[in-house]
A and B are shown apart, each in its own frame.
Chain A
């Protein structure tokens, strides 16, 4: 358990024009663990994740991966490190099929030509590995899939690569009970495989069911990073809504970082 974080952010600031969305945020992610990232709507969770994924450049702060300072300036940099993100707004191309989406930007080629067969096999294997059984054909357009199926494709896309960190931005928000359970089970399995998993969710039951750690963002500030076993539902809810809970959280309820 004394393993250090695989991904660590320190003092991250991020503004969109005049609006500062992230203030001096610190965030650590550990291999083999599920870290839940919680916070109210607009707290900055998705923004933080997009900074990690290289979608938004950070204004200032340190980005450490496996203890080394790295510079992530685009999605490819993140992918090279082994950081994969399933975005809240999924980011799939409706006009492409499942296999094409899963390999988008990282197509398998033999020479100049796309190696469709290998890609299809790998996609099938990955989906089977996630025990996905609801997709009729791997060659159907993503536009014809249900919300849950799209989510599964997006997750499969993230785990297809030998990724080390998988970040899921509200993967269960649009899912029914059964599919939610499946995704959570999947999240747990990924962590048990040794991956570092970050799960963003508004559902406290889900968070407590699968996470090892919880990080709570409050108005763009990291209110607390705690072990799940050491806190209660109520404490987390308090952290989310007011940024503090007893000894935990931001010292000054409304702002300045602790």
Chain B
């Protein structure tokens, strides 16, 4: 066990072996990471495509993205709150409030789309500021604060859309988000640039570490990552670029839905924030051991409040996407299953409900699982009731895996 502290440069082969071995050790120690989500996703996709070949159609594939987009975006924001070991039960209806603000300003007040979007986003940020302050400064448990907000926001949506009516969205730009597509050529170009930049960053980082005599990710592992990304994203772009229109002569329908690049940008931004900035590091620290963070001079209250701001802000984006997809906002926007799906997405993706563990990517992985269940069961003709029950069970399963892996981590001395 006793090896040098200053890591020596090993030859490439043993470095690779060490990397792989380290990975399996971590998995056995309870750090499952993305494994359950990826595993579940593959199984679900296989089952559904066997039972309902329509599941694999290009139309349905595109549907999956636009269906899951709002939930995934809300989940991405929720992860910040979950990382602190807190919860935001109001994120769903916060997205509803923001969507209602958008609709009122856009359709009833005739504001230009960019101002209405800005107002919706500011509304989200303010909601987060209030929730976060109540939690951090007054010390009310986030569960209670956001449960109260859950009820209150439901009322606010009702008030904004005037009891039960719905406000339709007619602005072309907003409608385009979930209903229009990126030109196929642009999709390919973005894919190629994206993969190239990812590969370049990884290689440059590894080379710099080698040059400084630090342990770097082996080239083979980087190559595997790059190839995986290229294949997965490449297949997605390829399928989304297929003609989806039933009558292509009349109207052509192909390309990556505009909402997809938007989500990818959000993913990159928040991944950068969490992994590469001091702020992100401090979020993990507060989630792992708030007292230690405090003693390290971190302003714990400010971190808490900011996490709620990010969460509600992302909820506002989710609301905008939902409004775009539904072409309207009604009292149920952001309601019913949205919050549970978002929490489920985060947890299924591998974010811990106990705080301190999670990534922005989890929202997409888990969001994909949730969207596939919802979509696949819809294709099989199950009622909403069955879908809720199954999704609830999947959430429970994910939370169980989380709790068990935590226990396992404790028993193997990893916590």
A residues contacting B by CB (< 8 A) are 53, 55, 74-76, 79, 85, 87, 90-96, 100, 104-107, 109, 112-114, 117, 120-121, 124, 127-128, 132-139, 141, 143-144
Contacts and interface: CB of A to CB of B under 8 A. Distances in A.
A94 B281 CA distance: 13
B5 interface: yes
Contacts of A117: 208-209, 212, 214
Contacts of B136: none
Contacts of A85: 295
A79 B414 contact: no
A101 B157 CA distance: 44
Nearest to B357: A95
Contact of A137 (B208, B215, B281): B215
Kindly list the 10 A-B residue pairs having the minimum CB-CB distance in the complex, ordered from nearest. Answer: A105-B296, A95-B288, A93-B288, A91-B292, A95-B356, A76-B297, A104-B296, A105-B297, A75-B297, A107-B278
Contacts of B209: 117
A76 to B, nearest CB: 4
B234 interface: no
A114 B7 contact: no
Interface in B84-108: none
B4 interface: yes
A143 B22 CA distance: 15
B5 A104 contact: no
Contacts of B7: 124, 137-138
Given A76-B297, A95-B357, A136-B3, A144 B291 contact: no
Contacts of B245: none
5 contacts: A75-B295, A93-B293, A109-B278, A139-B215, A143-B414
Nearest to B352: A95
Contacts of A104: 281-282, 285, 292-293, 296, 298
B188 to A, nearest CB: 30
Contact of B297 (A79, A132, A137): A79
A10 to B, nearest CB: 25
B2 A134 contact: yes
A85 B409 CA distance: 29
A130 to B, nearest CB: 9
Interface string B197-230: 0000000000011001011000000000000000
Contact of A96 (B288, B295, B413): B288
Given A120-B214, A128-B6, A133-B4, A93 B294 contact: no
B308 interface: no
B277 interface: yes
Interface in B281-309: 281-282, 284-285, 287-289, 291-298
B415 interface: yes
Contact of B284 (A95, A106, A121, A138): A95
B246 interface: no
Nearest to A53: B295
A104 B285 CA distance: 8
A124 B276 contact: no
Contacts of B22: 137
B249 interface: no
Given A93-B288, A127-B5, A144 B278 contact: no
B357 A106 contact: no
A68 B276 CA distance: 39
Contacts of A135: 5
B277 A133 contact: no
A198 B164 CA distance: 69
Contacts of B284: 93, 95-96, 100
Contacts of B2: 133-134
A200 B276 CA distance: 37
Interface in B1-53: 1-7, 22, 29
A74 B291 contact: no
Contacts of A93: 284-285, 288-289, 292-293, 356
B20 to A, nearest CB: 15
B354 to A, nearest CB: 10
Contacts of A87: 295
Given A107-B281, A113-B276, A143-B414, A138 B208 contact: no
Contacts of A133: 2-5
A114 B291 contact: no
A128 B208 CA distance: 22
Contact of A91 (B29, B281, B295): B295
Contacts of B296: 75, 91, 104-106
Contacts of A100: 281, 284-285
B314 to A, nearest CB: 20
B189 to A, nearest CB: 27
A96 to B, nearest CB: 6
Contact of B409 (A74, A75, A76, A143): A143
Contact of A141 (B6, B281, B414): B414
B212 A91 contact: no
Given A95-B357, A113-B277, A143-B413, A105 B298 contact: yes
Q: Chain A CB within 10 Å — which of B29, B278, B357 has the most?
A: B278
Given A55-B294, A91-B296, A143-B409, 20 more contacts: A74-B297, A93-B284, A93-B356, A94-B289, A95-B287, A95-B288, A95-B289, A105-B296, A113-B277, A114-B276, A114-B277, A121-B212, A121-B214, A136-B1, A136-B3, A137-B22, A143-B414, A144-B29, A144-B413, A144-B414
A192 to B, nearest CB: 22
B323 to A, nearest CB: 33
Nearest to A141: B414
Nearest to A126: B5
Contacts of B287: 95
A106 B277 contact: no
A201 to B, nearest CB: 21
Contacts of B285: 93, 96, 100, 104-105
